[in-house]
Amino acid sequence: MLGLRFIDSAIDRAIATLALRSVKAASACALYYLEVQASRYLERRLVNNARKTLEKQLDGNRTSKEHKVRIRKKLEELEEAVASA
């Protein structure tokens, strides 16, 4: 609290200390919120990319019927995982 030693009044010092603690708490909450939102965005992006890749393989002409069955199963598992999350 280096900035507080220049405050003369004890009441002013208490108010400044309370204000600094409030700013710290608010900034910590804001940073946590941003971290959670970034995590959710990255998870959705990962799931969407996986879904697009599987659908692209499913639509491919070179993909065998057996492999298409496995891809459909993986897509169903992906949908179940998203629904349960």
Domain positions in the chain: 2-84
What is the pLDDT at residue 38? Answer: 98
What is the pLDDT at residue 61? Answer: 86
User: pLDDT tens track of the chain, all 85 residues?
Assistant: 556 566 678 888 888 899 999 999 999 999 999 999 999 999 999 999 999 999 999 998 888 999 999 999 999 999 999 899 7
pTM of the entire predicted model: 0.67
Who's near 68: CB < 8 A, 6+ residues apart? 58
What is the pLDDT at residue 9? Answer: 83
Q: How far is residue 17's CA from residue 9's CA, in Å, rounded to a whole number?
A: 12
